Amino acid sequence: MTPAIEVPAGAPLTVLSDEEQMFQQSVREFAIEKIRPLVHDMDPQAAMPKELISSFFDLGIMGIEVPDQWGGAGSSFFNAVIVVEELSHVDASCGVLVDVQNTLVNNAILRWGNNDQKSKYLTMLARDTVGAYALSEAGSGSDAFALATRAEDKGDHWVLSGRKLWITNAAEAGVFIVFVNANPDAGYKGITAFIIERDFPGFSVGKKEDKTGIRASSTCELILEDCRVPKENVLGEAGKGYKIAIETLNEGRIGIGAQMIGVARGALEYAIAYSKERRQFGKAISEFQGLQFQIAQAATQLEAARLMVYNAARLKDAGKPFLREAAMAKLFSSEVCERVTSTAVEIFGGNGYTKEYPVEKFWRDSKIGKIYEGTSNMQLATIAKTILTDRL
């Protein structure tokens, strides 16, 4: 059992509207009351209780941008970012489950699905079904379109064969957006996105990865063995999967940025609280200027990262270009998260290096931010390209 540390709910400096503040507060209270008591057990068990996932649907945060006609909240992308940050400040695994659901799966169907697909799948995803987004393969990571999985047109249906790796939410998901190459001779222009249901013949979920961080979030391989997929389950159109993947991931990176600022904030809140309790040389360590400077630096970096993430989300909601801003937000927030969580461990001293206290988990959870949904080097490449082809 984690020793009790009284953690204040620190208010961000960033200005939100009254409505956004109320929404943020409701999600924050939910995270503290419903998720925090479970975190200490979820991490070693590497699993999330089904009841907790059900509560995400009950709260209405699994279909944030889904219109109310399909059972969603009909809200904004910015509110999805708020949710991911608030959940992640308590547990990053919960944050990424909800993030993938909203910024990748729901988003892809909202943008490229036809009316029948929206009516069927968005209703499921808003009501009770977890979604997963399957792009990566063993030989296809940063080179996202070097796909070995194949789709063959059989007239009235498609047959898919191959394997996907590192698929978030795979253990819990009932709906998967899967990218395969339906025309290898056309290169990346043969890539096609399919909506696959868990019980489709020839589809199965394989090995679950044993990860360093975000352990309660499932990461599994997908196995497609002559998986039969109806023609109507092509998302968008055949050969346009590369466009769907690129544009969806641009938005997903803002979600990962939100996850990282949430993780950093959670660690920093614990570190501040602990610094006021821990005494050395006759006074609380928070009274030492050296530690005060560490906290001030961490808080400043965190607020800068938050502003970048919020700005990218605002641009997306306004219908303005946000490619560079999303890449910058993910790059910077993941770097800040790693630094801030490491500082939090150091503030806790020896206690920080033990699993009895919470900050080592935040530290472990931070590392993935530089890796998934585009590594830091890929973000730098995107930023450099946009700068060199445009004016700042």
Helix (H, G, I), strand (E, B) or coil at 209: coil
Residues 6+ positions from 391 with CB-CB distance below 8 Å: none
Q: What angle do the packed helices 18-30 and 50-59 form, to 10 degrees?
A: 160
Q: How many CA atoms lie within 13 A of 273 on its CB side?
A: 17
CB 209 within 8 A of CB 166: yes
Q: What are phi and psi of 316, to 5 degrees?
A: -60, -45
Consecutive H or E run containing 228? strand 219-230
Whole-angstrom Cα Rg for the chain: 21
Beta carbons of 343 and 285 less than 8 angstroms apart: no
Amino acid at 252: G
- Please tell me whether residue 88 adopts helix, strand or coil conformation: helix
Containing 163, the helix (H) or strand (E) segment is strand 157-168
Active-site residue identified among 86, 221, 325, 373:
373
Answer yes or no: 269 catalytic. no
CA dihedral 198, 202, 203, 204 (to 10 degrees): 110
Whose tokens are 């979030």? That residue is 217
Give dist(CA 219, CA 388) in Å, integer: 36
Burial of 228 (0-12, 13-18, 19+ CB in 10 A): middle
Q: Which two tokens stand for residue 21?
A: 């503040």
CA gap 335, 1 in Å, rounded: 30
261 in Cβ contact with 85 (< 8 Å): yes
Active site (catalytic) residues? 373
